[in-house]
Chains A and B, each alone.
Chain A
Amino acid sequence: MKTIEVADAVAKIPDGATLMIGGFMGVGTPERLMDELVRQGKRNLTVIANDTALPGRGIGKLVTAKLVAKTIASHIGLNPETQQQMIAGDMQVDLVPQGTLIERIRAAGCGLGGVLTPTGVGTVVEEGKQKVEVNGKTYLLETPLRADFALVHAFLADYIGNLAYALTARNFNPVIAMAANTVIVTAENIVPTGVIAPDHVVTPGPLVDFLVAHE
């Protein structure tokens, strides 16, 4: 784990990269990384996240700046700009049931070849997917989702990258931290190693590649 300035962290992300971004309607999203992605004008990004938040908040900033070519999300309903760009054909949007999305990410992070879920059977979600019967029940085979980068926001980070989260800001963060080649973290509080008790560490330090220094 290395500490890094926010500009240097984002400089590592090339145009066209696939990013997993933590947060649920912007809660638990690394806002400083969003602002810096906009400032550096990254292009043609693929975003994998629960939602695209609202204009001016979280991932919504990337949408407004037209940095996103493709979104894989469960919900875009509260961001009219995402819907406009989708309808205009400027952004490809793959909508995935929320429980399936998080399990596809978890599967990638855990080295699984996919997950079997009953969600989506008999709906448009099953189109093009393999159906598997187990003990008489039908499931969809949903494949793993990986990313080049996971952009994570934690409540506490220690000097070796152990992370703990706050309340509902946890959401996708610890799961995406398992499923990307490079994990970049911002934290509300950076604390000396040992301050987070072992039982309270949610994301183990060795998963984190870069911890963004405070301004």
Chain B
Amino acid sequence: MDPQTIIAKRIAQELRNGMLVNLGIGIPTLVANYVPAGITVYFQSENGLIGTGPIPEHGMEHPMLTDAAGKPVTALPGACTFDSATSFGLIRGGHVDMTVLGGLQVDAQGHLANWVIPGKMVPGMGGAMDLATGAKKVVIAMQHTAKGKPKILNKCTLPLTTIKPVDMIVSEMAVIAFPHGRATLEETAPGVSVEEVVAATEAELAMAHDLHEMRL
């Protein structure tokens, strides 16, 4: 299984029936492909849509039905649309049950940096700061390392997205959560040892009592 699939499948296991969920761009988007059978999840697109459906078939696109990247999507039966003030009221007001975001760095206390590399990449924070601050549960979907260097650090060196700690990181190597504000290894990916995760992580990891292998 490739790294992105491992991450997306594992995060999909966090979905519960009836949740309102916002997926960021990139790996997070893939989570929608693995919604567990038998549950209904409402996906929000922050440009003003709840009930985001799959990409339309060729020739079926609507120029005014798009995702947060401006790409054509479909709307499922029961979908609703609204303006940006309502959309971010949903996000900031704690009505979004879970968001899945990409990450550049996360530190030992769960602080997230994911919006800027000063001098290199300055795209703007878009909705990331509101999502990371306002969503009830924040899950970070990211590769465990970048060019061999750890992304889970003692302290973030890049500007933070929010001071609210994230709840969980899911990488192709591990699931790390932050109970009591401390990075804790909860799961390892199939074929990955605890030692390998520790070696690829700069932050000190506590070990969960029920540390186990991901069930994918």
* Residues of A that sit less than 8 Å from B by CB: 24-28, 50-51, 53-54, 73-78, 83, 86, 95, 97-100, 102-103, 106, 117-125, 155, 165-175, 202
Contact = CB atoms under 8 A, between A and B. Distances in A.
Nearest to B122: A83
Interface string B45-89: 111110000000000001111101110000100000111110011
A53 to B, nearest CB: 8
Contacts of B18: none
Interface string B114-138: 0000000111111111100110000
A125 B161 CA distance: 9
A202 to B, nearest CB: 8
A54 B70 CA distance: 10
8 contacts: A50-B84, A83-B122, A102-B83, A102-B84, A118-B164, A123-B159, A167-B62, A170-B48
Contact of B75 (A86, A167, A174): A167
B198 interface: no
A86 B159 CA distance: 19
A175 B47 contact: no
Given A99-B91, A168-B66, A175 B129 contact: no
Contact of A24 (B47, B62, B122): B47
Interface in B4-28: none
B160 interface: yes
B162 interface: yes
Nearest to A169: B64
B92 interface: yes
A123 B70 contact: no
B163 interface: yes
Interface of B: 45-49, 62-66, 68-70, 75, 81-85, 88-89, 91-92, 121-130, 133-134, 159-164
Contact of A123 (B48, B89, B163): B163
Contact of A170 (B45, B81, B122): B81
Contacts of A168: 45, 47-49, 64-66, 81
B106 to A, nearest CB: 15
Given A119-B162, A123-B163, A168-B65, A103 B85 contact: yes
A173 B83 CA distance: 8
A55 to B, nearest CB: 13
B156 to A, nearest CB: 11
A121 B127 contact: no
B81 A77 contact: no
Contacts of B91: 99
Contact of A98 (B46, B83, B163): B46
A46 B10 CA distance: 45
